[in-house]
Chain A
Amino acid sequence: MSVTDELTGPGKPSFHLEEMVLNMGPQHPSTHGVLRLVLHLDGELAVSVEPVLGYLHRGFEKLAENRTYLQYLAMLSRLDYLSGTFMEWSYVRSIETLMNIEVPKRAEYIRVIVSELNRIISHEVAIGDFMLNLGAVTPFFWVFRDREDVMDLLEMVTGQRMMYNYMRVGGVRWDLPEDFEAGCRKFLKEYPAKIDDYEQLITDNEIFISRTLGMGIIKPYEALDYGLSGPNARASGIDWDLRREVGYSVYPEFDFKVPLGQHGDCFDRYKCRIEEMRESVKIVEQALDALCGGPVNLKLPPMLRPPAGDIYRAVESPRGEYGVYLVSNGDLRPWRLKLRDPTFSAISMIPKLTAGNKIADLVAIVGSLDLLMGGVDR
């Protein structure tokens, strides 16, 4: 029973009590970019929560129809700007499948290395932001410090720190630079100790546990109903990882585990990301060991004309299944491009997850879902 019910009604003094409507965002410290949440507050309780999207809409899908396949590649990493390689990968993968292109082995390994490094830095930001939402400021600086090492490596390879534009249809843009392998191995050696540091600071913290354990529980069937994927779904116990289930690229060659949570609460989602970072380190190590010689790119005509048809291909991005649905009519430009962003599904869970919680828990739940508006408002 809410305060409003207690104080009003027949026989009670006629107070004028009403719910307070609070617009959280689009400019707010903890809504990750430009998510706007319309809260109906009863004191501290959020009676209902309604996410409002569209503040970062740039017409990405429509823009694809006016550009050649290669021109559009440069735009893809601007979508989900923390994990650019995954968008590029799902896009080139759908074109490659449509055109029946066999990608050179070395290029596949390089794609895996770059993508798993990208997964690490994306999860780091997710954890840092989550902790910032919970009110802990130091982990945020720690993850950004360690993220810098990976960004240096990625800059070495792609020439960019975030907007990589590195994948090409039929391979990657350049080969790895000479000193990359040594730098990468040095990073991989040092990095697990840093994850232990995070865990020491965060996971064992009594306040962190009390804020996240049993908070914002997603049941497995709910995760399936809402189309969640990635760590958000795996924290609920959904054993689904495209890297293993579909086994695209060279992933079947690697030995890695898929971390699963038991209860699907904020703690499990956080823990899943931590474990995935450890697994990513292992995958990069194996990919570096397996790296073979050969070309990294195929000679293809500068104007790609995929045959008419439609195709959906997805990759496992740090936020879940990132898919590209491509309809080609044999022209220079895609006839229609549809992007599937995992964050969109996660946002659709917010009203269900957060209604009836306090503002502080709402912020914690929103943070634990690892939302990124760049991919949603495309």
Chain B
Amino acid sequence: MLALAVIAGSAVVFPFLMRRVWGFMCDRLGPNRVGPQGLLQPFADGLKLFIKEDVTPSQAHKLLFLIAPAVALVTPMLTQVVIPFSDSYTIANLNIGLIYLVAVGAFSVLGILIAGWASNNKYSLVGGLRAAAQMISYEIPLILNIVLVALLTGSLSLNMIVEAQETVWFGAVQPLAFIIFIIAGVAELNRTPFDLPEAESELVSGYNTEYGGMRFAFFAALIEWGNVTVWAMAGSTLFLGGWRGPLFNSPVWLAVKVSIMALVIIWFFSTFPRLQIDQLMSFAWKVLIPLSLLNVAATSGFILIWPDNFLLPTAIFSWSSIALFIILFPSVIRKVLLRNRLRLLATRKMTTVISGTGKGGIRS
């Protein structure tokens, strides 16, 4: 019940939050008519979608089309079972919670793939296949960075991981892993700039093109934002100390951290254009996975050399690699990227050359 409540709550809060925050970033108001400050807008939307006709395309695979939203909802429901809400309350305190999280999380692609295939729509099919390729690719860097946390803790239990962050959050020890976790997570969740499976300018609405009414609400609100919530919960637990916080320890801190991570997603959404599918794949395989592997190897090395006091060297390594990236990016990395992209073009200036005088002879 609690799992359902968390999903439903996030499906109510986050879409509304997103529309208001995005509206703020676009210099407009966003929905503010229904209720005070538009707070009842999600309920109005939900009611509207609920009373709409439930249309199944005539050529769709009926059974799969109908169960796809339910299948997709299973993942966010089940994964949050292992998230500790406080020191005494976890729905299921598994000693292999991390493995459970990864294993059940991998199911999230299934519902999307089924929806894309069963709709018998070309846009949906392309969207579903994109989702499959993307989510499987980005699972690897995600898992590699979860492995890092297990290395730092020496345990696979999420409760133990939170215990281990009593003095310092792993996000501060391993910022590199946290950043890769965020990037890979955003890709795993199909959010901008990795929202290719539902790229509205290319695939209309991607895998959920044919869905309407409550089934669309399942995809657009419950599953999307449920997955975001679960990802943010996992991220908060693994890297931000979970329910631990300054002054007092309570599930409130978990909610605050989850909201901040959801705001990061909203911020990405309103800032970035979308990546292209092969850039997306090469980014995972050529950048994120080697970086994560290097990070795992280095951290394991530190743990091997200084078994008692490995946090400091790990932090130095992680922070300095980020600093190196920031220093090198404008001068070196960007130029290398540009050269690769423009192999055919001899030289490239980043600005458009302006020529012409403005005064011209009369020719008619």
* Residue ranges of A at the interface with B (Cβ–Cβ < 8 Å): 20, 22, 28-30, 41, 44, 131-138, 141-142, 145, 201, 205-211, 213-214, 239, 241, 244-248, 252, 254-263, 268, 271-272, 275, 358-361, 363, 367
User: Is B360 among interface residues, defined by CB-CB distance under 8 A?
Assistant: yes
A-B pairs with beta carbons under 8 Å apart, 20 shown:
A22-B123, A30-B202, A41-B122, A131-B273, A134-B201, A136-B274, A137-B270, A138-B25, A138-B26, A141-B27, A142-B27, A145-B27, A205-B271, A205-B273, A211-B273, A214-B342, A245-B363, A260-B352, A262-B349, A363-B201
Cβ proximity bits B331-352 to A, threshold 8 Å, 1 near / 0 not = 0001001100110110011011
Interface size class of B (residues with CB under 8 A): 35 or more
Closest-CB distance, A107 to chain B (whole angstroms):
19
Residue contact A29 to B204, C-beta cutoff 8 Å: yes
Residue contact B362 to A30, C-beta cutoff 8 Å: no
B338 CB contacts on chain A under 8 angstroms? 209, 213
Residue contact B201 to A133, C-beta cutoff 8 Å: yes
B131 CB contacts on chain A under 8 angstroms? none
Closest-CB distance, A141 to chain B (whole angstroms):
4
Please report the C-alpha to C-alpha distance between residue A135 and residue B345 in the assembled complex, in whole angstroms. 26
Selected contact of A239 from candidates B26, B344, B356, B361, CB within 8 Å: B356
User: Is B355 among interface residues, defined by CB-CB distance under 8 A?
Assistant: yes
Task: Name the residue of chain B whose CB is nearest to the CB of A271.
Answer: B352
Selected contact of A208 from candidates B273, B341, B351, CB within 8 Å: B273
Cβ proximity bits B137-157 to A, threshold 8 Å, 1 near / 0 not = 000000000000000000000
Task: Name the residue of chain A whose CB is nearest to the CB of B349.
Answer: A262
User: Is B126 among interface residues, defined by CB-CB distance under 8 A?
Assistant: yes
User: Is B358 among interface residues, defined by CB-CB distance under 8 A?
Assistant: yes
Residue contact B352 to A261, C-beta cutoff 8 Å: yes
Please report the C-alpha to C-alpha distance between residue A201 and residue B193 in the assembled complex, in whole angstroms. 14
* Residue ranges of B at the interface with A (Cβ–Cβ < 8 Å): 22, 25-28, 122-123, 126, 130, 192-193, 195-196, 199-204, 269-279, 334, 337-338, 341-342, 344-345, 348-349, 351-364
Residue contact A141 to B341, C-beta cutoff 8 Å: no
Task: Name the residue of chain A whose CB is nearest to the CB of B133.
Answer: A44
A262-B352 contact, Cβ under 8 Å, with A141-B28, A245-B363 = yes
Please report the C-alpha to C-alpha distance between residue A142 and residue B270 in the assembled complex, in whole angstroms. 11
B200 CB contacts on chain A under 8 angstroms? 29, 135
B349 CB contacts on chain A under 8 angstroms? 262
Residue contact A210 to B337, C-beta cutoff 8 Å: yes
A136 CB contacts on chain B under 8 angstroms? 271-274
Closest-CB distance, B191 to chain A (whole angstroms):
11
Residue contact A272 to B352, C-beta cutoff 8 Å: yes
When A and B form their complex, which 4 residue pairs have the shortest distance between CB atoms, in order from nearest?
A135-B274, A141-B26, A258-B356, A136-B273
Residue contact A361 to B345, C-beta cutoff 8 Å: no
Residue contact A254 to B27, C-beta cutoff 8 Å: no
Closest-CB distance, A191 to chain B (whole angstroms):
15
Task: Report whether over half of chain B's contact residues are helix, strand or loop; otherwise say mixed.
Answer: loop
Please report the C-alpha to C-alpha distance between residue A260 and residue B275 in the assembled complex, in whole angstroms. 27
Please report the C-alpha to C-alpha distance between residue A20 and residue B193 in the assembled complex, in whole angstroms. 27
A214 CB contacts on chain B under 8 angstroms? 341-342, 344-345
Residue contact A211 to B359, C-beta cutoff 8 Å: no
Closest-CB distance, B176 to chain A (whole angstroms):
18
A213-B341 contact, Cβ under 8 Å, with A252-B362, A275-B352 = yes
Task: Name the residue of chain A whose CB is nearest to the CB of B195.
Answer: A135
A-B contact count (CB 8 A): 154
Please report the C-alpha to C-alpha distance between residue A259 and residue B351 in the assembled complex, in whole angstroms. 11
B269 CB contacts on chain A under 8 angstroms? 137
B354 CB contacts on chain A under 8 angstroms? 257-260, 275
A260-B355 contact, Cβ under 8 Å, with A201-B271, A206-B334, A214-B342 = yes
Please report the C-alpha to C-alpha distance between residue A132 and residue B345 in the assembled complex, in whole angstroms. 27
Selected contact of A360 from candidates B276, B357, B358, B362, CB within 8 Å: B276
Q: A29-B200, A263-B345 are known; give 4 further A-B pairs, CB within 8 A.
A: A29-B201, A214-B345, A247-B361, A271-B351
Residue contact A257 to B356, C-beta cutoff 8 Å: yes
A22 CB contacts on chain B under 8 angstroms? 122-123
Selected contact of A268 from candidates B201, B352, B359, CB within 8 Å: B352
Please report the C-alpha to C-alpha distance between residue A136 and residue B196 in the assembled complex, in whole angstroms. 12
Residue contact A360 to B273, C-beta cutoff 8 Å: no
A247-B360 contact, Cβ under 8 Å, with A135-B192, A135-B193 = yes
B353 CB contacts on chain A under 8 angstroms? 260-262
Task: Name the residue of chain A whose CB is nearest to the CB of B193.
Answer: A207
Selected contact of A244 from candidates B122, B345, B360, CB within 8 Å: B360
Residue contact A207 to B352, C-beta cutoff 8 Å: no
B276 CB contacts on chain A under 8 angstroms? 210-211, 358, 360-361
Closest-CB distance, A252 to chain B (whole angstroms):
6
Selected contact of A134 from candidates B204, B273, B360, CB within 8 Å: B273
Task: Name the residue of chain A whose CB is nearest to the CB of B270.
Answer: A138
B357 CB contacts on chain A under 8 angstroms? 244, 257
B359 CB contacts on chain A under 8 angstroms? 244, 252, 255
Closest-CB distance, A245 to chain B (whole angstroms):
6
Residue contact A360 to B360, C-beta cutoff 8 Å: no
Closest-CB distance, B247 to chain A (whole angstroms):
36
Selected contact of A28 from candidates B204, B358, B364, CB within 8 Å: B204
Task: Name the residue of chain B whose CB is nearest to the CB of A270.
Answer: B352
B344 CB contacts on chain A under 8 angstroms? 214
Task: Name the residue of chain B whose CB is nearest to the CB of A357.
Answer: B276
Residue contact A252 to B277, C-beta cutoff 8 Å: no
Residue contact A252 to B360, C-beta cutoff 8 Å: yes
B271 CB contacts on chain A under 8 angstroms? 136, 138, 201, 205
A268 CB contacts on chain B under 8 angstroms? 352
Please report the C-alpha to C-alpha distance between residue A320 and residue B235 in the assembled complex, in whole angstroms. 51
Please report the C-alpha to C-alpha distance between residue A106 and residue B305 in the assembled complex, in whole angstroms. 83
A245-B360 contact, Cβ under 8 Å, with A29-B201, A29-B204, A211-B273 = yes
Selected contact of B358 from candidates A134, A244, A263, A363, CB within 8 Å: A244
Residue contact B355 to A239, C-beta cutoff 8 Å: yes
Closest-CB distance, A254 to chain B (whole angstroms):
7
Residue contact A257 to B25, C-beta cutoff 8 Å: no
Selected contact of B362 from candidates A41, A246, A259, A363, CB within 8 Å: A246
